[in-house]
Amino acid sequence: MNNAKVRVRFAPSPTGPLHMGGVRTALYNYLFAKQQGGDFILRIEDTDQTRFVPGAEEYIIDSLKWCGISPDEGQGVGGDFGPYRQSERKAMYRQYAQQLVDNGHAYYAFDTAEDLERVRQLAKDAGSPNWQYNHVTRNSMKNSLSLSQSEVQKRIDSGEPYVIRIKLNRNEEVKFEDIVRGWVSVNTNNMDDKVLFKSDGMPTYHLANIVDDHLMQISHVIRGEEWLPSAPLHILLYRYLGWEDSMPQFAHLPLLLKPDGNGKLSKRDGDRLGFPVFPLEWHNKESGEVFSGYRENGYFPEAFINMLAFLGWNPGTAQELFSLEELTEAFSLKKVNKAGARYDHDKTRWFNQQYLRLKSDEELGRLLSAEAQKAGHDIDQAKAAAIAALMKERAYFIKDLWEDSEFFFQAPTEYDEKTLRKKWNQDARNHVSQLHQIFEMLSSFTPEDVEGSFKAYLEENGLGFGKVGPGFRLAVTGKGMGPSMFEICAILGKEETLSRLKLALEKLP
RNA sequence: GGCCCCUUCGUCUAUCGGUUAGGACGCCAGGUUUUCAUCCUGGAAAGAGGAGUUCGAUUCUCCUAGGGGCUGCCA
């Protein structure tokens, strides 16, 4: 597999929404593929029919699309190696399991789920929590190694359900070189005879992923660390199937950890700690539960992707802001860290703030006016862009931009209580009243005009900014803080500014 | 319990044997700002512990501890 084209796959199971750890795996696959001029393939691993969740596959496709890491080939896209849903490839797997049986690398096993449950429990009661179906125990189980050939045939002919298990040699060292971890070695004595083919006629993940990766000519398997323990099993399968020469290279990624406490990030952590763990909002139809999504929480996909890229990888330079194209160029599996990365929500917010600032005033204006429209306000684009320009420094999200600038769209209906209490008094009333008169005489209402006349007023009366400013702001915006009042007044216009000063004099004590 | 993987500031991380151990987020202080935010400057903050190799270890090896993953006819 040295000179072959790079082909990588992201192979989620449609058992629910794809969480951010899965998205990161997809991202690293995508980045690697694009950088190497290869293909990024989406394969749906739905071999467990009991865990199928309606809508999950669509969710996966939509999520990748939102992130901008759409597959070149695979489910929802098509390609020459389909079908890309394992349930639709069902007929292909049987022959490979059979091949393994014929070669003596696998065997039939007739033990029922209850049988297995019983021996496991027995072992546990005897103080060994780790019963394995392996070279020492398999002779006492019901399988084609312990039973006579005629007995086996009889059971099969009578339609008795069976599984096919891999037959591991005892005391064999299985080694492979992982791109991120280096050499990893496991002895078969510590592995068990995993089921390859289930009694329902479907392969398990272990068989299916090897067969499909081989058939789809996958060059690199980039997946989460939770797969590391079964990688040796997969190596053996390639070997026993005769595919070792074209075996893909492996890269096991560090896990995403909970921000607090221990363990890997799970779907419950989000609501518990107040951040989304899913890219898109997900509605659980059975329970009615809703899991929040980054998209719905106002995150830009660029920020989300950038944040994810840095959880487990970094370019080794001081640059932190990377577009998808830049990530593609800079990414390297060799620079992926080995240790799990704890998710940091503050950093995610920071990334979003950075991306918000990177956007042009025009674009922010468009996004802002879309928010305003939802609230029933129409506004022209030039004005929206001007407002965005003035307000963007203090926003992390578009919704901040909207909430902070709502006063541009309508006169205050209420006034900041604290400022009212501390800064509004008879003097303030007089100043606002005076400002009304002064502004009324202005023929031009640019920020400079407003500032000039305001400062002239201060000077004539020997006043400091702090004496007049807060009351002025309160009267016009209803708030105790914000950007330059002169800019605000200019955007509002003379008429609106005067009307608000007047309104305040009427409404405030 | 067994097996495998991992271990630098609170968090994400840089360092490919010799550095005042660097950056970012967050935090704190000061400055700019009428205010808030931004911005600028500064600060606190780390090599889990113990052996060994070496002239010299954060870096290499081993042990211990801690963390994580796996241990299903789930993926």
Beta bridge partners, A187, equal: A173
Q: Which two tokens stand for residue A253?
A: 């990624």
User: How many angstroms separate the CA atoms of A193 and A204, rounded?
Assistant: 13
Q: Distance (Å) from CA A260 to C1' B69?
A: 18
Residue A461 resides in a domain: yes
**If you measure CA to C1', which residue is closest to nucleotide B71?**
A130
Q: Report if residue A65 sits inside a domain.
A: yes
Report the CATH number at residue A30: 3.40.50.620
**Residue type present at position A394:** R
Q: For A9-23, A291-305, A420-434, which range has the lowest pLDDT when averaged over its residues?
A: A420-434
Question: Within this chain, do residues A142 and A239 fall inside the same structural domain, yes or no?
Answer: no
A1, pLDDT greater than 50: no
Residue A135, in any domain of the structure: yes
Same domain for A35 and A134: no
**Separation in Å: B71 C1' and A321 CA:** 40
**More reliable by pLDDT, A187 or A270:** A187
- Let me know if residue A185 belongs to a domain: yes
ipTM associated with this complex: 0.95
Residue A294 in any domain: the answer is no
A95 and A186 fall within a common domain: yes
- Choose, from A65, A90, A264, A267, the residue flagged as catalytic: A267
**Tens-place pLDDT, residues A25-84:** 999 999 999 999 999 999 999 999 999 999 999 999 999 999 999 999 999 999 999 899
pLDDT band at A3 (very low <50, low <70, confident <90, very high): low
Chain B bases closer than 7 angstroms to a protein Cβ: 1-8, 10-15, 23-26, 34-38, 67-75
- Compute the distance between CA of residue A152 and CA of residue A463 in angstroms, rounded to an integer: 102
pLDDT in tens, A421-460: 888 888 899 999 999 999 999 999 999 999 999 999 998 8
Which one of A381, A409, A437 terminates a domain?
A409
CA-to-C1' span, A346 to B43 (A):
21
Strand partners, A278: A293
In whole angstroms, what is the distance from residue A91 CA to residue A97 CA? Answer: 11
The residue lying closest to nucleotide B14, measuring its CA against C1', is: A316
Residue A267 lies in a domain: no
Residue A247 lies in a domain: yes
Instruction: Identify the three-state secondary structure at position A451.
Output: helix
CA of A357 to C1' of B38 (A): 11
Which nt is closest to the CA of A465, judged by C1'?
A: B34
Please choose, from the candidates A366, A372, A407, A409, the residue with its C-alpha nearest in 3D space to the C-alpha of residue A385: A366
What is the domain count for chain A?
A: 4
Are A462 and A428 in the same domain?
A: yes
Nearest protein residue, CA measured to C1' of B25? A347
Indicate if A399 belongs to the active site: no
Domain assignment present for residue A105? The answer is yes
The β-bridge partners of A173 are: A187
Which nucleotide is closest to A252, CA to C1'? B5
Domain enclosing residue A47, as ranges: 7-75+208-255
Cβ neighbours of residue A128 under 8 Å, at least 6 residues apart? none
